[in-house]
């Protein structure tokens, strides 16, 4: 452990990042599912079913639009006032917004004010999610021993899929146990309110984390630049993060979102069956990611990322072939391997995003560029995939699109390795492996 970090604070710093990522993915997963199932009925009842669903998805999209702005706002706070301030305040905002959605009166109770408040709360969620990631990733990497930065930073990436799994495991039993009327009346609120438990645990952990030793030691008040200075000095690094992240976030939304609609429309698989396949694959992939984490630093961050991105490019073709076959075993296998590839990309790239920037610019640079990629390339993946399938009649153009993004990400990762700093601790292992 780094001599700058007291042992208890270091352990909490290791857990602080995954907790925020877990809550973020839980919140977005719950909202996305509820948008399809019930929010159109309780907040947009005056619209037709199709128009109401589109309106509900519009509020879902508002969260994506707010992510880059959150990365910018909270990034400036993190680089000027400290990483700990960001991870606590963003988590609190995220939790309050989610719980308030669960308590929000419906259209029948307060009229048009209900969907307006829903949109405002979604924007608040997006701001918080966009802001907390950069702070959490930076805090974890800066607290980590130099020869374990892959392990500590990668742990932030593991929290996300765990949150997605928790969201699925919360919604599925409720939707199965309750009647449609009960679910529309009060059952949909339960998953939003349950997030308070994650927020409470996350706040307890994060309030016990010391400020980053790197921030205290290296980011003097006089060295904290303006936003224009951050962008001007880090344009290349921000572009690299955008493209490195692009393949991973697109893979996430392809596997977790678009495959559901493709399977129903083109392979004749029921939505509930495909949800079961998808959740099973996510669970297997999280187990694989947890087993991989302790080995990340030995393998090398860049090396693991490039191997995983190449695997995703191949597996995109395999995935659509499996879906078209309708064979359950092949579908679960393809989904599982795809999820493992994406998770490996995520856990190996988080430390790279942070280390590409100097300490005074890290939360802003890493958070804003990553969340911009998440919104532009990740959030649009289901739409792009749907248009490509409509044009081609099958999934081969989507696989080609993922392959193109993977190639761009591998190129950006290869260029970015030359900008990563050398380490000083354990030079025979750490310096070689972080830059590999």
Phi, psi dihedral angles at 429 (to 5 degrees): -115, -55
Can you give 178-199 as a three-state secondary structure string?
CCHHHHHHHHCHHHHHHHHHHH
Determine the Cα–Cα distance for residues 337 and 355; give it in Å rounded to an integer: 28
Determine the Cα–Cα distance for residues 86 and 196; give it in Å rounded to an integer: 19
Determine the Cα–Cα distance for residues 228 and 247; give it in Å rounded to an integer: 28
Structure tokens at 80: 């000027």
The confidence score (pLDDT) of residue 429 equals: 38
Determine the Cα–Cα distance for residues 202 and 423; give it in Å rounded to an integer: 30
pTM (predicted TM-score): 0.84
Residue ranges of E strands in 214-271? none
The confidence score (pLDDT) of residue 8 equals: 44
DSSP state of 225: -
Determine the Cα–Cα distance for residues 324 and 391; give it in Å rounded to an integer: 17
The confidence score (pLDDT) of residue 225 equals: 63
The confidence score (pLDDT) of residue 160 equals: 86
Q: What is the mean pLDDT of each run of 10 residues along the chain (436 residues)?
A: 45 81 84 75 73 64 84 90 90 92 91 88 89 90 87 90 86 83 89 90 86 81 66 88 94 86 81 84 92 92 94 96 91 95 94 90 92 88 85 89 96 84 39 43
Integer angstrom CA distances of residue 36 from 53, 173, 185, 390: 6, 17, 16, 21
The confidence score (pLDDT) of residue 368 equals: 93
The confidence score (pLDDT) of residue 3 equals: 43
The confidence score (pLDDT) of residue 50 equals: 61
Residue keyed to tokens 């640079």: 365
């Amino acid at each position: 452990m780094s001599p700058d970090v007291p042992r208890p604070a270091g352990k909490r710093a290791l857990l602080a990042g995954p907790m925020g990522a877990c809550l973020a993915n839980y919140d977005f997963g719950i909202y996305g599912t509820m948008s399809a199932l019930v929010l159109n009925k309780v907040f947009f009842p005056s619209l037709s079913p199709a128009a109401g669903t589109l309106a509900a998805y519009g509020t879902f999209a508002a969260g994506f639009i707010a992510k880059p702005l959150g990365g910018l706002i909270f990034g400036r706070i993190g680089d000027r006032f400290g990483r700990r301030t960001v991870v606590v305040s963003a988590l609190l905002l995220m939790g309050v917004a989610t719980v308030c959605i669960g308590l929000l009166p419906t259209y029948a109770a307060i009229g048009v004010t209900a969907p307006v408040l829903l949109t405002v709360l979604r924007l608040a969620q997006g701001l918080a999610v966009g802001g907390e990631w950069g702070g959490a990733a930076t805090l974890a990497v800066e607290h980590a021993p130099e020869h374990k930065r892959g392990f500590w930073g990668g742990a932030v990436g593991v929290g996300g899929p765990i949150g997605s799994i928790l969201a699925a495991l919360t919604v599925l039993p409720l939707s199965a146990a309750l009647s449609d009327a009960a679910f529309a009346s009060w059952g949909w609120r339960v998953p939003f309110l349950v997030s308070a438990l994650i927020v409470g645990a996350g706040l307890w952990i994060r309030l016990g984390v010391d400020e980053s030793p790197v921030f205290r030691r290296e980011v003097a008040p006089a060295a904290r630049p303006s936003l224009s200075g951050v962008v001007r000095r880090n344009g290349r690094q921000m572009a690299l993060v955008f493209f490195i992240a692009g393949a991973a976030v697109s893979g996430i939304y392809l596997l977790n979102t678009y495959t559901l609609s493709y399977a129903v429309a083109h392979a004749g698989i029921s939505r509930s069956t495909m949800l079961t396949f998808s959740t099973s694959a996510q669970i297997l992939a999280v187990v694989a990611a947890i087993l991989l984490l302790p080995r990340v630093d030995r393998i090398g961050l860049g090396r693991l990322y490039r191997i995983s991105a190449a695997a995703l490019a191949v597996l995109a073709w395999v995935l659509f072939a499996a879906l078209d076959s309708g064979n359950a075993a092949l579908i679960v296998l393809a989904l599982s391997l795809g999820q493992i590839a994406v998770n490996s990309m995520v856990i190996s790239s988080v430390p790279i995003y942070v280390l590409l920037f100097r300490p005074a610019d890290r939360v802003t640079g890493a958070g804003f560029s990553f969340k911009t990629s998440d919104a532009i390339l990740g959030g649009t993946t289901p739409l792009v995939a749907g248009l490509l399938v409509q044009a081609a009649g099958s999934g081969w153009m989507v696989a080609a699109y993922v392959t193109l993004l993977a190639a761009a990400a591998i190129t950006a990762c290869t260029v970015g390795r030359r900008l990563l700093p050398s380490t000083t601790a354990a030079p025979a292992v750490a310096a070689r492996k972080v830059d590999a």
